[in-house]
Structure 1
Amino acid sequence: MNYDIIGDIHGHADELESLLQKLGYKKQGNTYSHYESRKVIFVGDFIDRGPKIRETLHLVKAMCDAGNAQAVMGNHEFNAICFHTPHVERGGFFRSPIF
């Protein structure tokens, strides 16, 4: 099995789709697959900065659901989730070493 590793998309869904096409992935419904059974490993930072965060997340999730990709959370996703915890009323970044 061969893998393509993609990271730091930051909400740029159009550029992600262009990259997938250049790598030989074809759109099938709402997902992409490769004719040689290659798979993508997404290494985080799907959100922040770009204009199409929601579309990026939908595309990554669709590929994972179809078995064409695996995804791990990046620091931007980690901070977005933790921004509201443990103090929902204050929010804030969760970078202090508490582990």
Structure 2
Amino acid sequence: MKTVRKPVTKPVEVSRTGRRQHFGLIAQEVQEALQGVDFGGHVIDDMSDPDSLQSLRYEQFVPILIKAVQELSARVKELESMSTQPPPATLDQQWR
């Protein structure tokens, strides 16, 4: 699977507080990165027109991100447990 280059930011005027940043992804980059994957988070307004408005349903990313965090957490625990074990002795050390 390809990766999306990076999130983008866009300043938005907000009536009560002034300005704030919105963070997001480019829908076309997400579509390209997920080619061949059944993902309901990419929306095209007019399927017959590839230049029509494209958007993302960010709530569709939540389960994917939860799973990724679970996998990474398991990997971190595995690596941490390896770091607490003494390294295996080399042949040199065994004969001293």
Q: TM class, shorter-chain normalised?
A: under 0.3
Relative to the length of structure 1, the TM-score reads 0.26
More helix per residue: 1 or 2?
Answer: 2
Larger Rg: 2
Instruction: Identify which of structures 1 and 2 has the higher relative contact order when contacts are C-alpha pairs closer than 8 Å and 6+ apart.
Output: 1
